[in-house]
């Protein structure tokens, strides 16, 4: 492309105002509207995790009985391992122009990609709930300390409702407003959290160690592994959502820059994680970490914690809820993005009230994080392998056929489901649950085969990788799903490309509503080779 044409394209890209309600659903984002950069991907990830929700996950290693040094090591391991699995998930959006659940249709089928929608829903409920729970509790604790309001279920419920409603308002406005909020949170919460070094300097104990008798699972290694897995749940939770934001990054953006944006964002989350580790040692043994920490804080820092809680609750809640509302507007075609966001938000708020006021918070968090790690990680592994063998080649138009009430195309596979991906994911997730040990709510029958060390992650990702690669060799995919350079390493089958036709069973209004959204019909890279692969 000539320099003048590139300059014109850049000039045509206009970043919408934050106060403009986003009109796009999961349809392909046109090139002219892809105004984000890899740095925006960094900011929105770090902003979404630079919150009290992440701080709470950081307290788990200490709550489970590790010493300060052991807890720090478990946290670093969890963040690094989780980041390595997460990094490839930022590559899909710029190439497909849509979110990761829809992009997964290339490997699970355009109907089978509903699995990604389910995983995003699971993650959204978990982290939206955690963010509102924890931030609400922090505000209750601070108001009790500062104004003597006292603690009650009614007060907590009112604050939960206010936080939850504010999150939904931002989600309704959409991506640009969410990006603005995260720009603020990245800077503000980092500064406020780092001020904790000053606030707790006189009472912090670098030698904190409750001793071997405190290990929650009876011995060091089982407790250490569980702690690292809980921490890992945070980066893994972004797997289903990175495409929500990366789809606004221009196609052709450097792969290295995208990978580094995600790695850098996850490494930056060590700020809130290690804040949680350090402060958990100050209130070890207390039932309510947030409430106890505020009571133990200098009065000036208790005030700042209210700001951290509010900004953090907004940021985590927004990044969790936005993607699910976006995706379920396609799964349930009667709902627009805004309507789907409102429905999911309302259901999630009911879950917040029941989960916080009826069940044990820590047990609920532990169980949800376990499900996210066990179920989402093998899905990410399959996606990453699929990306590699296809050399990052995707047809943006064919990924949208199900959303537009049509059928056929490159990713139709068998009745809309690619059984290769499904046949690899199902046994890996089930096996992971059998080996899982996230007490007290998740305790698989095979959890003790390694002396109590949780093998669920190794089992689930190992099975997913082995089964999926084996199926790609035993049952080659059609040549038309690969790019002009053909498949990498795996074989391909010469089969006719199914034509894209209207699906008579689809609701007539679906095509109309989707058709109103700007689409980019051209593929994301060079067209398929000539021959039997063409429509």
pLDDT tens digit sequence for 158-215: 888 888 788 777 777 666 666 676 677 778 888 888 999 999 998 999 999 999 999 9
pLDDT given for residue 355 in this prediction: 67
Contact partners, residue 122, CB within 8 Å, separation at least 6: 368, 371, 372, 375, 376
Does residue 384 register a pLDDT over 50?
yes
For residue 392, pLDDT over 90 is answered with: yes
**Helices 38-49/175-194 angle, 10° precision:** 60
- Give the tens place of pLDDT for each residue, 32-42: 889 899 999 99
**Residue 391, Ramachandran bin (φ over 0: left; ψ between -120 and 50: alpha; else beta):** left
More confident position, 535 or 276: 276
pLDDT band at 3 (very low <50, low <70, confident <90, very high): very low
Model confidence at 4: pLDDT above 50: no
Q: 32-366: which CATH topology? A: Hydantoin permease (1.10.4160)
Max mean pLDDT among 312-326, 361-375, 462-476 falls in: 462-476
- Is the pLDDT at 423 greater than 70? The verdict is yes
Rounded to 5 degrees, φ, ψ at 414 are -105, 105
Q: What is the pLDDT of residue 76?
A: 98
Read off the pLDDT of each residue in 324-328 and give the average, rounded to a whole number: 69
Pair 55, 210: CB distance under 8 Å: no
- pLDDT on residue 166: 81
Residue pLDDT, tens place only, 87-128: 999 999 999 999 899 999 999 999 999 999 888 888 877 787
- State pLDDT tens for residues 217-260: 999 999 999 999 999 999 998 998 898 889 999 998 999 999 99
Candidate from 40-49, 226-235, 522-531 with smallest mean pLDDT: 522-531
pLDDT at position 103: 95
**pLDDT tens by residue, 460-478:** 999 999 999 999 999 999 9
Number of CB atoms found within 10 A of residue 427's CB? 16
Model confidence at 509, pLDDT cuts 50, 70, 90, reads: very low
Q: How confident is the model at residue 515 (pLDDT cuts 50, 70, 90)?
A: very low
What token pair was written down for 103?
Answer: 């992009």
Q: What residue segments make up the domains of the chain, in order of their start?
A: 32-366
In degrees rounded to 5, what are phi and psi of residue 417?
-125, 130
- Region 48-62: mean pLDDT is 88
- pLDDT per position as a tens digit, 478-495: 999 999 999 999 999 999
- Coil, helix or strand for 260? helix
**Separation of alpha carbons 107 and 399, rounded Å:** 10
The whole-model pTM stands at: 0.85
Check residue 82 and give its pLDDT.
Answer: 96
| pLDDT (0 to 100) of residue 24 | 61
Give the pLDDT of residue 528.
Answer: 38
Cα 224 from Cα 95, distance rounded (Å):
38
Residues 6+ apart with CB under 8 A from 266: 45, 49, 79, 82, 83, 86, 235
In 3D space, the residue among 128, 48, 133 whose CA is nearest the CA of residue 315 turns out to be: 48
């Amino acid at each position: 492309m000539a320099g003048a044409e590139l300059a014109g394209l850049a000039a045509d890209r206009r970043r919408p105002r934050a106060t403009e309600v986003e009109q796009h659903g999961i349809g392909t984002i046109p090139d002219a509207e892809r105004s984000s950069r890899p740095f925006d991907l960094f900011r929105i990830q770090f902003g979404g995790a630079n919150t009290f929700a992440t701080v709470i996950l950081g307290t788990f290693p200490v709550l489970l009985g590790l010493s300060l040094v052991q807890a720090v090591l478990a946290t670093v391991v969890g963040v690094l391992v989780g980041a390595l699995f997460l990094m490839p998930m930022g590559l899909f959006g710029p190439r497909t122009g849509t979110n990761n659940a829809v992009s997964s249709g290339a490997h699970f089928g355009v109907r089978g990609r509903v699995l990604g929608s389910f995983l995003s829903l699971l993650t959204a409920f978990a982290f939206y709930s955690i963010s509102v729970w924890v931030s609400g509790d922090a505000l209750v604790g601070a108001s009790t300390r500062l104004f003597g309001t006292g603690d009650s279920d009614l007060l907590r419920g009112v604050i939960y409702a206010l936080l939850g409603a504010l999150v939904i308002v931002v989600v309704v406005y959409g991506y640009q407003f969410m990006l603005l909020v995260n720009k603020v949170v990245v800077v503000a919460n980092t500064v406020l959290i780092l001020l904790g070094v000053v606030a707790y300097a006189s009472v912090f104990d670098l030698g904190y160690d409750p001793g071997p008798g405190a290990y929650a699972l009876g011995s060091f290694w089982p407790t250490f592994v569980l702690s690292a897995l809980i921490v890992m749940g945070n980066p893994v939770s972004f797997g289903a959502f990175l495409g929500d934001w990366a789809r606004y990054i221009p196609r052709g953006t450097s792969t290295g820059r995208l990978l580094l944006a995600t790695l850098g964002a996850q490494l930056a989350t060590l700020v809130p994680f290690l804040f949680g580790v350090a402060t958990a040692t100050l209130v070890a043994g207390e039932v309510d970490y947030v409430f106890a920490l505020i009571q133990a804080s200098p009065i000036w820092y208790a005030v700042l914690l209210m700001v951290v809680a509010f900004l953090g609750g907004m940021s985590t809640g927004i990044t969790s809820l936005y993607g699910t509302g976006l995706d379920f507007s396609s799964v349930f075609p009667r709902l627009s993005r805004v309507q789907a966001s409102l429905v999911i938000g309302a259901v999630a708020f009911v879950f917040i009230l029941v989960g916080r006021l009826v069940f044990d918070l820590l047990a609920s968090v532990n169980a949800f994080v376990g499900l996210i790690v066990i179920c989402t990680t093998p899905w990410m592994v399959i996606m990453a392998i699929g990306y590699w063998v296809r050399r990052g080649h995707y047809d943006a138009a064919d990924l949208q056929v199900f959303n537009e009430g049509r059928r056929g195309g490159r990713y139709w596979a068998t009745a809309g489901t690619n059984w290769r991906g499904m046949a690899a994911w199902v046994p890996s997730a089930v096996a992971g649950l059998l080996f899982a040990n996230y007490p007290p709510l998740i305790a698989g029958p095979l959890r003790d085969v390694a002396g109590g060390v949780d093998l669920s992650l190794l089992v689930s990702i190992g099975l997913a990788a082995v089964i999926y690669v084996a199926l790609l060799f035993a049952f080659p995919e059609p040549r038309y799903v690969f790019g002009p350079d053909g498949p990498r390493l795996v074989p391909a089958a010469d089969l006719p490309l199914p034509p894209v036709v209207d699906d008579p069973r689809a609701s007539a209004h679906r095509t109309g509503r989707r058709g109103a959204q700007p689409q980019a019909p051209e593929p994301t890279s060079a067209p398929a080779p000539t021959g039997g692969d063409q429509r």
